[in-house]
A and B are shown apart, each in its own frame.
Chain A
């Protein structure tokens, strides 16, 4: 063998070894995925002050069990690891670091709450872990430029606030607006959207009242709002307080145009306790089918959900909207995995999450679809106004698209 052929042979062997090495390395970079499973990590408050939301984490687990029973996604079972973070940001950091560094999950999905997600926002983007469909209505999750690994899910509060403002400007002559809001980021996000929507007409707001989550009642705030002479009432409250507000306004004979935020649109937990007659003519913006609303009783999406709940999550309450919420978003996650096919690298999962087109979920309102793109990390941006007719939410008008003005 001449020196030259030896040299060539050496090069070839070296080259082969290198490509083989590169191949092995490429296979290793697919974190959290094997031939038979894909690991998905989640944190939820199963204990602590926000534990009522924990059912979302459970219903997601139940849905993934259904997927696995039916053969998984592209032959892979979903290994769903969900941990309790007690809604406490330091605990979230610890649990998410465990999921990423120790359990080596492929993606983080539906981590719940604005403060917990804020605490891990930077970290997951540094680690380049897909942080998909986070369960919070804050506006900041739609920021693909600065945080290309984090994506929101539900319509954000500011958008909804703008929808009500537009309606009031259009339909009320000489509007005088009274606002009651919960004194935290959730309340202020709604308020900001509403004020932005009013624009230069901001002085139409004649009174703002606040309450703390820990307050026993909000009766005096409602009386103050009535006395301010407001003819439009924007009710930015969580379910317990929403029911109190509707009841009190009715008792003292205050009949403004009453916007009730989507957070409290449940018949079961808000309108029934407040009284269905007292709730007549409330206006809200919806994007999901209310599971306690009788009009969906024979709806296909609804009946499928009920069947699913009975089989896979019999402990879960059928009048809790959170269980519908979790079911929807788990279906969306499964869709992203399906789209990713056999390339379950983190890059491709993120790419597919940003490439959902006109996807319908069984418990979204008819006509509302999931859409994302590399520059749009807000999957659901449509809502529809509805008026309560004493029995059900009667949808009216067109689907409002927040992106188009």
Chain B
């Protein structure tokens, strides 16, 4: 998940540093794996070093990371803009909440169901959205973000209306001696790892190349025999499924859902996350999640009067210093450190 895997650079850049690439790739592999191992080690040992409150925040970071990865697949890799992923987050959260609250189903089962529901909804929304490109698609998805909170209020019998649904936090199973927060953290971490591995496999291979090819030039992609329409709607579905699972996990961790939780602002926050983290990178989802979780809180600590102005300054500074997001920035640092001669030749 570290810089070694953040490799979805655009085709032009690939060509330009092709000379150094094979050698570096050989050297990068073990170091990259070691970095991923380190990150995992830190992630696993976190519960022993942190208070329950901090763990709860990191659980939220992980759920954001899943949602951001989903959105990045769609927007970063496939070039379809979505301003409405907060809606899928909400649908996932409500699927879980309704199943637990109304039907007494174990929370563990509700997570995959939330993913499947969002997969279907996302796929179906993706079909007609095929006709829309760029900004028009962004507007169409924006309408989704606007509509979902009201729709949730409308089906009051199921959703509890604007009062929402109160859930109970699950206790650790199998007699594990973990607090509720520790258990939820590990559960979320496990699901995050699985989903990242799946995404990594999906985006690195043939399918990933097809997805990126559609973004870069869809006519050329179709000429090469890629079924653009199918790919686009499947990516939409998978992306929605990831975000839905994130929503389900957040509903369990927060133990409450209400329409106010899934407003337009959430959708915009998610988009901010992928841009800051690194467009079309896998590791960027984690950096972006850390950013959207912690930076607003810091902004508030710095200035109570105008936290969002401070947040805005942070955003501008990040975009100015790291135009390709945090993942892109780290990748650049990595290149400089491992092959200084090559990067100088590139005239950067």
A: residues with CB less than 8 A from B are 46-49, 82-84, 86-90, 93-94, 97-98, 101-102, 114-116, 118-119, 121-123, 183-185, 188, 212, 214
Q: Are B263 and A88 in contact (CB under 8 A)?
A: yes
For residue B56, which residues in chain A have a CB less than 8 angstroms away from its CB? Answer: 94, 97
Cα of A214 to Cα of B143 in the assembled complex, Å = 14
In the complex with contacts A115-B163, A185-B161, A93-B254 CB distance below 8 A: yes
Q: Are A121 and B166 in contact (CB under 8 A)?
A: yes
16 A-B pairs with C-beta separation under 8 A: A46-B304, A48-B263, A48-B265, A49-B263, A82-B304, A84-B300, A87-B260, A89-B256, A90-B254, A97-B53, A102-B51, A115-B260, A119-B166, A122-B166, A184-B153, A185-B163
Cα of A83 to Cα of B297 in the assembled complex, Å = 9
For residue A121, which residues in chain B have a CB less than 8 angstroms away from its CB? Answer: 166
For residue A97, which residues in chain B have a CB less than 8 angstroms away from its CB? Answer: 53, 56
Cα of A194 to Cα of B161 in the assembled complex, Å = 20
Cα of A212 to Cα of B265 in the assembled complex, Å = 19
Cα of A405 to Cα of B10 in the assembled complex, Å = 74
B168 within 8 A of A: yes
User: Which of B254, B256, B304 gathers most chain A CB within 10 Å?
Assistant: B256
For residue B153, which residues in chain A have a CB less than 8 angstroms away from its CB? Answer: 183-184
B: residues with CB less than 8 A from A are 51-53, 56-57, 60, 150, 153, 161-164, 166, 168, 250, 254-261, 263, 265, 300, 304, 307-308
How distant is A191 from chain B, measured CB to nearest CB, in Å? 13
Q: Are B52 and A122 in contact (CB under 8 A)?
A: no
* Inter-chain pairs besides A97-B56, A102-B53, 5 sampled, C-beta below 8 Å: A47-B307, A89-B254, A90-B250, A118-B258, A185-B161
Cα of A116 to Cα of B166 in the assembled complex, Å = 11
Kindly list the 7 A-B residue pairs having the minimum CB-CB distance in the complex, ordered from nearest: A101-B53, A119-B256, A115-B258, A184-B162, A185-B162, A90-B254, A115-B260
For residue A184, which residues in chain B have a CB less than 8 angstroms away from its CB? Answer: 153, 161-162
For residue A101, which residues in chain B have a CB less than 8 angstroms away from its CB? Answer: 51-53
Q: How many A-B pairs with Cβ below 8 Å?
A: 80
In the complex with contacts A48-B265, A115-B260, A94-B57 CB distance below 8 A: yes
Q: Are B258 and A89 in contact (CB under 8 A)?
A: yes
Cα of A97 to Cα of B250 in the assembled complex, Å = 15
For residue A98, which residues in chain B have a CB less than 8 angstroms away from its CB? Answer: 53
For residue A94, which residues in chain B have a CB less than 8 angstroms away from its CB? Answer: 56-57, 60
Cα of A88 to Cα of B52 in the assembled complex, Å = 21
For residue B307, which residues in chain A have a CB less than 8 angstroms away from its CB? Answer: 46-47, 84
For residue A93, which residues in chain B have a CB less than 8 angstroms away from its CB? Answer: 254-256
Q: Are A90 and B261 in contact (CB under 8 A)?
A: yes
Q: Are A118 and B166 in contact (CB under 8 A)?
A: yes
How distant is A102 from chain B, measured CB to nearest CB, in Å? 5
